[in-house]
Structure 1
Amino acid sequence: MLALSHYNSSASPFLPRLANDSGGTVEVSVAVEGLSQQGNFTFVEPTTSGIIAVVLSMTLGIISNIVALFILVNAYSLQRRRSKATFLLFATSLVITDFIGHAIPGALVLRLYLSGGVSPEDFDSSDGMCQFLGGSMVFFGLCPLFMGCAMAAERCLGVTKPLLHSSLVTKTRTKICLAVIWLLALCVALLPCLQLGSYTYQDPGTWCFINVLSDTEEVDVVFVVLFSGLGLTSLAVALVCNTISGLTLVLARLRRQPGCHHSAKSHDIEMVVQLVGIMVSSCICWSPLLIFGLMSVIHSYTGTIGDNLLNYKTLMVMGVRLAAWNQILDPWVYILLRRTVLRKIYLIAKCQAGLRGTILGRWEPTSFPSSEKNEVNQV
């Protein structure tokens, strides 16, 4: 999907064809000038450097997901604590979903990019590949949001009600939850097959998504409201759950009495920090597309989009660019926000600030069962 970044967001990749159709360059100049007055159109032909940038972006995403997957699988195989194993099972499933969601839609978009895209007059004619690409974007968009929400809810229960968590959350139920998430996202993505919504090519003709800008009907509005509503609700629930988990851990540290050994362990801190990273990445990457989609379909259906059509096309392209980055950023949450990295950050912060007697000083070395325990004592 990152291939979109190499087209101007409001340009058509087929302007050069005007020269052949009109029989001269005067008509081309007039057409380009007229378009420029409406939306500052500038045509940028696909170049070798652009294709290389697209390939590098896809390669970065694939490598990042593979590295994160290796780290999570290795940690899962060594983990004996059930709550941590449950979290790692969720996280591994999320990375696998991100990996597939980055490779398949990205390859299809790259193929469209290399072939020159689809002409604007064919935007409304949705072929099999457009249906598959649009469905993939909806499916692989909802799955990470649902999983992030489920992970946040699971950790919130584990931090606030550990006894209830231990009795309710099992590996079998976690796998069932993952299956339900995938099935729910698949059902939403397949709604256009039941004539409940539609997928169409989007400007500049190199990607497909829900019809939000042209000839929108009631079913299109309902489909977009369902998609965006589910996504935004998942983000909101994750925000609430992560906030509760974080505050609970902080209060547990502040209320800890000397000699008390019931303080939050480092694995709880690690999981909550990673969940916060996932939530922030998802909010930044997916919120624009979810909100822009709602805005576009409402204004298009009510007929109030008017001269703002070009602006909404630009917003949709910007939204899908950001959404594509979520599948690249998510793996780095697990790569960078691991316990070993957090421990190093803690040691550096404690050495620099000299916070032995402050709140950070309440983090006991016993919370970090590792070979660096002696180093923490020396500090």
Structure 2
Amino acid sequence: MWVTVAMESHNFTHGSPVSVNKTQTLQSEMASVQTAISLPIFMFAGGAIGNLIAIIVLSVSRQERKSSAFYTLVCGLAVTDLLGTCLASPLTIANYLDQHVLRNQHACEFHSFLLLFFGLTGLSIICAMAAERYLAICCPYTYQRWGVDRRFAQKFLFFIYLSHIFFCCLPMMGMARSELQSSATWCFIDWRTQDPAAAAYSIMYGAVSLLLIMGTIVLNLAVCGALLLMRQRTVQRPVTRASVRQRWKALSSAAETQMMAVLVTTSVVVLACSAPLVVRVFANSFKMKTDPKADLAAIRIASVNPILDPWIYILLRRSLFRRLLSLSRRSSSTRSSASSSPQRNLFYPDIMRDSHVFTQLMCSTNIITQLPATVKFTPCDTESLQQTSHTAD
């Protein structure tokens, strides 16, 4: 009897080959789940922490920054990205832990709505920021006549939210149907449906996203072209006092470099993150080759956009760019001659300490480009220009 008990306990401890195989299978499945869930957790942490830092940095900005429309749009983008990350990512993580979460139709429709809404809203706010900079630099009189300020930007953000909520709720109203995708980790609209209304909605969503992307790129390129043209006119304009010319040239160069760095980086990030999903929307809508892996990669790349946005629009524009410009200024001053270095070092710190370079650039654009080539600047003119720029700020 004791031998029999020992044999049974031995089998219970070590297990039969079938139980060992089951245990190994469960362990391998758990390891694969842990490996797969690490990516959404990392993206959730990166998006939440980055946007929280961005909001904190914005909250401690100076009061003159908070009164601008650009500042309000940046705040709206940071809050939008933070809400999208905090609402959509937990559902994805919960579905990795329990694959029955998104099989619920209501949960699937809600997840699809979140991806549709926050993806389109982020693109709209970025396009609005590009349009605001275009009006401020290229159409300053229209900018002032329309009264583009903080309140105007708040109203525009409210309009974006309301219109996009209605547009992205159309699938839940019956115009289209949300379904669990092939990877069983995310829900989106049924973009390969035979229903004409659902197909029209899918194409409409892709067309609106494409227009926003192209509009952002075109506006940014127009602003960059206007800045380069202004730089060329400032350099080539004949003036009597070399010091005045050097001051305006330095102001134009610093602001131009900062603006172009932000705008070019924005265009690249928007195109790289949003274009793959738009391409997959059109590819699936027109019944091209089915590729679930490409669909999953496209939605993951689109999810990177909220992670990168705060670092581009806040940290790069405020601190990192100024440090890099300061380092480049120091290295260039060491290589420059002793005669030219005092003028550079006297004026460049004023630019670095200024809290609103974009407003000064707009004011200099309004004043300098409208003057005829024969106008001669005097010290009083320089003081009046500075007073005008501080008043506009």
| Equivalent in 97, 110, 134 of residue 132 of structure 1 | 110
| Equivalent in 71, 86, 103 of residue 86 of structure 2 | 103
Using the TM superposition, give the Cα deviation of residue 172 of structure 1 relative to its aligned residue in structure 2, in angstroms. Answer: 2.0
| Counterpart in the other structure of 1:33 | none
Cα shift readout 1:262-317 (whole Å, capped 9, x = no counterpart): 55485675455334333322211111001111111211xxxxx4xx33xx212111
| Counterpart in the other structure of 1:7 | none
Q: 2:40·2:92 contact (CA, 8 Å) conserved in 1?
A: no
| Counterpart in the other structure of 1:281 | 269
Q: 2:81·2:122 contact (CA, 8 Å) conserved in 1?
A: yes
| Equivalent in 58, 63, 68 of residue 79 of structure 1 | 63
Give me the whole-angstrom Cα distance separating, in 1, the residues matched to 2:117 and 2:127. Answer: 15
1:367 corresponds to 2:351: yes
Give me the whole-angstrom Cα distance separating, in 1, the residues matched to 2:123 and 2:301. Answer: 14
Q: 2:69·2:149 contact (CA, 8 Å) conserved in 1?
A: yes
| Counterpart in the other structure of 1:57 | 43
2:303 alignment partner AA: A
Give me the whole-angstrom Cα distance separating, in 2, the residues matched to 1:49 and 1:270. Answer: 40
Secondary structure at the counterpart of residue 206 of structure 1: coil
| Equivalent in 173, 184, 202 of residue 152 of structure 2 | 173
Q: 1:198·1:210 contact (CA, 8 Å) conserved in 2?
A: yes
Using the TM superposition, give the Cα deviation of residue 52 of structure 1 relative to its aligned residue in structure 2, in angstroms. Answer: 4.2
Give me the whole-angstrom Cα distance separating, in 2, the residues matched to 1:186 and 1:162. Answer: 32
Give me the whole-angstrom Cα distance separating, in 2, the residues matched to 1:216 and 1:267. Answer: 52
1:205 corresponds to 2:184: yes
RMSD over aligned Cα, in angstroms?
3.1
Q: 2:216·2:267 contact (CA, 8 Å) conserved in 1?
A: yes
CA, structure 1 residues 93+269, in 2 after alignment: closer, same or farther (shift >3 Å)? farther
Give me the whole-angstrom Cα distance separating, in 2, the residues matched to 1:80 and 1:350. Answer: 27
| Equivalent in 218, 221, 234 of residue 199 of structure 2 | 221
Q: 2:130·2:216 contact (CA, 8 Å) conserved in 1?
A: yes
Percent of aligned pairs with the same residue? 25
Secondary structure at the counterpart of residue 194 of structure 1: coil
Cα shift readout 1:138-174 (whole Å, capped 9, x = no counterpart): 0000001000111101101101122331232122221
Q: 2:69·2:152 contact (CA, 8 Å) conserved in 1?
A: no
Using the TM superposition, give the Cα deviation of residue 350 of structure 1 relative to its aligned residue in structure 2, in angstroms. Answer: 4.1
CA, structure 1 residues 135+220, in 2 after alignment: closer, same or farther (shift >3 Å)? same
Moved more, 129-138 or 244-253: 244-253
| Counterpart in the other structure of 1:94 | 77
More helix by share: 2
Cα shift readout 1:39-66 (whole Å, capped 9, x = no counterpart): xxxx996433443443233112211110
1:237 corresponds to 2:215: yes
| Counterpart in the other structure of 2:372 | none
| Counterpart in the other structure of 1:4 | none
Cα shift readout 1:87-127 (whole Å, capped 9, x = no counterpart): 111001001000111111111111111103579xx7xxx71
Q: For structure 1, which runs of at least 5 residues remain unmatched after alignment?
A: 1-24, 26-42, 300-304, 372-379
Q: 1:270·1:337 contact (CA, 8 Å) conserved in 2?
A: no
Give me the whole-angstrom Cα distance separating, in 2, the residues matched to 1:222 and 1:288. Answer: 20
Cα shift readout 1:304-344 (whole Å, capped 9, x = no counterpart): x4xx33xx212111100101111111111134412432222
Q: 1:239·1:279 contact (CA, 8 Å) conserved in 2?
A: yes
Q: For structure 2, which runs of at least 5 residues remain unmatched after alignment?
A: 1-20, 22-28, 236-241, 356-393
Count of matched residue positions in the alignment of Structure 1 and Structure 2: 311
Using the TM superposition, give the Cα deviation of residue 356 of structure 1 relative to its aligned residue in structure 2, in angstroms. Answer: 5.8
Give me the whole-angstrom Cα distance separating, in 2, the residues matched to 1:232 and 1:118. Answer: 32
Using the TM superposition, give the Cα deviation of residue 346 of structure 1 relative to its aligned residue in structure 2, in angstroms. Answer: 2.1
| Counterpart in the other structure of 2:375 | none
Give me the whole-angstrom Cα distance separating, in 2, the residues matched to 1:179 and 1:114. Answer: 36
| Equivalent in 114, 120, 131 of residue 142 of structure 1 | 120
Mapping of residues 228-307 of structure 1, within 5 Å: 228-257=206-235, 258=242, 259-260=244-245, 263-264=251-252, 270=258, 273-299=261-287, 305=288
TM-score (norm 1): 0.73
Q: 1:145·1:234 contact (CA, 8 Å) conserved in 2?
A: yes
Secondary structure at the counterpart of residue 64 of structure 2: coil
Give me the whole-angstrom Cα distance separating, in 1, the residues matched to 2:167 and 2:46. Answer: 29
Q: 2:101·2:107 contact (CA, 8 Å) conserved in 1?
A: no
Q: 2:111·2:188 contact (CA, 8 Å) conserved in 1?
A: yes
| Equivalent in 58, 68, 71 of residue 54 of structure 2 | 68
1:188 corresponds to 2:186: no
Moved over 6 A (4+): none
Give me the whole-angstrom Cα distance separating, in 1, the residues matched to 2:352 and 2:228. Answer: 17
Mapping of residues 334-349 of structure 1, within 5 Å: 334-349=313-328
